[in-house]
Amino acid sequence: MRAHEAGALHAEGYGGPPLYLPYPDDVNALLEQLWPASVIRGRSGALEVAGVDVHAIAREFGTPAYVLDEDDFRARARAFRDDFAAPFHEVCGGADVYYAGKAFLCTEVARWVAEEGLSLDVSTGGELAVAQRAGFPAARIAMHGNNKTVAEIEQALTYGVGRIVVDSLTEIERIDTVARRLGVVAPVMIRVTVGVEAHTHEFIATAHEDQKFGLSLATGAAAEAARRVVARPGSMRLVGLHSHIGSQIFDTGGFEISARRLIALHADIVREHGIEMPHIDLGGGFGIAYTSQHTPLDPARLGRLMADIVEREGKAIGVGDGSGLPRVSIEPGRAIVGPSTFTLYEVGTVKPVVVGDRMTRTYVSVDGGMSDNIRAALYEADYSCTLAGRTSGAEPMLARVVGRHCESGDIVVLDEYLPADLAPGDLIAVPGTGAYCRSLSSQYNHTPRPPVVAVRGGRARAIVRRETIDDLLALDVG
């Protein structure tokens, strides 16, 4: 897929509402699976999250704002921890859950992850710096990245991270040099390209051959990487194999193939070198619901299915009796933080546009856009939204929620029914924006980024404050 320069959704060729979006019986209804657990419509008709009215959030923190339900985040983190630990316990001694910080990370969230007993996947020195500032236990950190710099490797080894996931043969030399200089032995995993075509958007599929990540299983590059790591016992120790097949995935078919190939390669390497290699990591990528078209598997079902897969694949190659299988890790990001958050916007303009013989689409401009949520423009991602500040008895109208940036591809919600009396000043909320929205946000058009407001027990507080024009100008040394 090639995106239009002005964004993948440059306004052309879009007809009526999509199939997943029926004309609503009640335009005020909330589709439960899209919202953080504590979100309800309060007595006034406005949304409340953890007992706090969205008007109060808008007044105190302004709009747009990412609003994060802390208990919802923690509950999803715990669900992955417990729902994978139990079924994997019998199969391979347990499962370790690494929260993928690239989905969203700040020091407070890193603390929650640590408190809930999860581990952490970081993919840059910047994410690692956040973890360090939060005092995240080093042994529970996995360091990723397909082009780690010498400085990042040094930062990771000095802090003492539990695993560095190697992505190229070049990087093995680089780690070797740094580890020798520091006089440490680097715990290393090898990122394996297992050759799986994950059924997701091309830009977020990561385990087919023709892309930048990992070392190929098929060409023998992964086995060669293992040889090179094992040949350097003074500077590195091979602790496992890793595979991440992609993101926003709804079935376990891809994981089945990747687990099979990873377990087989694991057994080959253990046999060839006579080493112990305690871990395999199956990556993240578990999908979430952005609209009614998505039906994600819950962690309990996922844990059971994935444990069955590992057990079956282990048995198939004769290591499935529980003793020969490496302990399994997973790396969910989106499935933990995505549904915990909604973005609160204020409506600025409401503009009916005639788009066909009998069709009018109402363009609703909000006070944010592609700078706080690039996912529609980048991946043709669908979102939904609702009138958040009140209820309405008006007829539903087909709307498109757009931002305030200078591109027609600046779309936040491609299709949604909103009440026909929607007006400037109304608050609307877009659920499912916890993952890859703040972390992919930009200052496009010199737009200060929104705050992240955490809400718990009737109290709201900014855990990332809003950027100011002074923040923007601070870097301009001109």
Which residues would be at the binding site for ligand LLP (CB under 6 A)? 100, 102-103, 121, 144, 204, 244, 247-248, 283-286, 331-335, 375, 379, 435-436, 440
Which tokens belong to 237? 């120790």
**Which residue of the set 92, 106, 406, 437 is catalytic?**
406
| Cα–Cα distance, 346 to 423 (Å, whole number) | 10
DSSP class of residue 241 equals E
Question: Residue 69 or residue 281: which is nearer to ligand LLP going by CB?
Answer: 281
Residues 48, 304 contacting (CB under 8 angstroms) = no
> Please, where are the H alpha helices in 26-138?
54-61, 70-92, 107-115, 125-133
Residue from 195, 286, 283 nearest 241 by CA? 283
CB atoms within 10 A of CB 441: 19
Question: Cα–Cα distance between 348 and 359 in angstroms, integer?
Answer: 23
Single-letter amino acid code for the residue at 132: Q
Half-sphere exposure of 229 (CA within 13 A, CB side): 33
- Cβ–Cβ < 8 Å for 384, 290: yes
Residue 475, number of CB atoms within 10 A of its CB? 8
Using CB atoms within 10 Å of the CB of residue 439, give its burial: 0 to 12 exposed, 13 to 18 middle, 19+ buried. Answer: middle
Give the separation between CA 170 and CA 245, rounded to whole angstroms.
22
Biggest alpha carbon distance in the chain? Answer: 73
Mark out the alpha helices in 338-407 (DSSP H runs): 375-379
* Catalytic (active site) residue 385: no
Q: How far is the CB of 286 from ligand LLP (least distance, A)?
A: 6
Pair of tokens at residue 338? 């995505």
Spatial distance between the Cα atoms of 131 and 107, rounded to a whole number of angstroms: 6
Q: Which of 308, 271, 259, 251 is nearest to 91 (CA)?
A: 308
Half-sphere exposure of residue 13, counting CA atoms within 13 Å on the CB side? 5
Q: Tell me the catalytic residues.
A: 406
